[in-house]
Chain A
Amino acid sequence: GNSVTQMEGPVTLSEEAFLTINCTYTATGYPSLFWYVQYPGEGLQLLLKATKADDKGSNKGFEATYRKETTSFHLEKGSVQVSDSAVYFCALSDATGANSKLTFGKGITLSVRP
């Protein structure tokens, strides 16, 4: 079955530090890949996505590249801000299925200190 593995957290960084959050996946076929962000007390917001190999998703300074050879979709940001503090979830959608239900990783909490 499908699965998503995220690096263990939490992660604490100083403002303007470089961020990498690792994500690897197992899936049949050619899934679409996503990063969602959840701010305290809120629902998930789609941060970025990539639907085929070598695609790069980007939004708000965050980037992730769909690497089929390493089955990875690592999230990066060059300079984090305090406002980036949130929980980040990697997810995949089995594009070959009849519906697009998502399989999520466990999430990782990012705290950015001033």
Chain B
Amino acid sequence: NAGVMQNPRHLVRRRGQEARLRCSPMKGHSHVYWYRQLPEEGLKFMVYLQKENIIDESGMPKERFSAEFPKEGPSILRIQQVVRGDSAAYFCASSQGAPGYTFGSGTRLTVV
């Protein structure tokens, strides 16, 4: 049973480009969470999704960021027109709804 799979592991984008981060939850998990880790900081909640629904996006920046979790396929975190301040590690986690979840290894986004 594979864990939470994120890809790519590393992503480099120039300012103004789009970044797409993918997350495949653990088999049988229907809850997906995205977190962002800035340098020297803890993780900050961004968005919580269930299949085809955004449940809580209170941590998402109002512009340029979007997330989806379609009926088929991975969850996608999309950042349009990236800026240097978007450089961070983005972690996805999945659960069955009980406290405590499984994290992926993250995508490290660098904006140059």
Interface residues of A (CB under 8 A from B): 4, 32, 34, 36, 41-46, 49, 51, 89, 93, 95, 98-107
Contact = CB atoms under 8 A, between A and B. Distances in A.
Contact of A44 (B41, B91, B98): B91
6 contacts: A43-B105, A98-B56, A99-B56, A100-B101, A102-B35, A104-B42
B56 to A, nearest CB: 6
A77 to B, nearest CB: 20
A99 B91 contact: no
A104 B95 CA distance: 17
Contacts, number: 66
A49 B99 contact: yes
Contacts of A43: 4, 6, 91, 103-106
Given A42-B105, A44-B43, A95 B99 contact: yes
B48 interface: yes
A106 B41 contact: yes
Contacts of B56: 98-99, 101
Nearest to A103: B45
Interface in B68-96: 91, 93, 95
B43 to A, nearest CB: 5
A46 B41 contact: no
A105 B55 contact: no
A89 B42 contact: yes
A89 B59 CA distance: 19
Contacts of A106: 40-42
A34 B41 CA distance: 17
Query: Lowest 7 CB-CB distances: which A-B pairs, in order?
Result: A104-B42, A32-B99, A43-B103, A43-B105, A44-B103, A106-B42, A101-B45
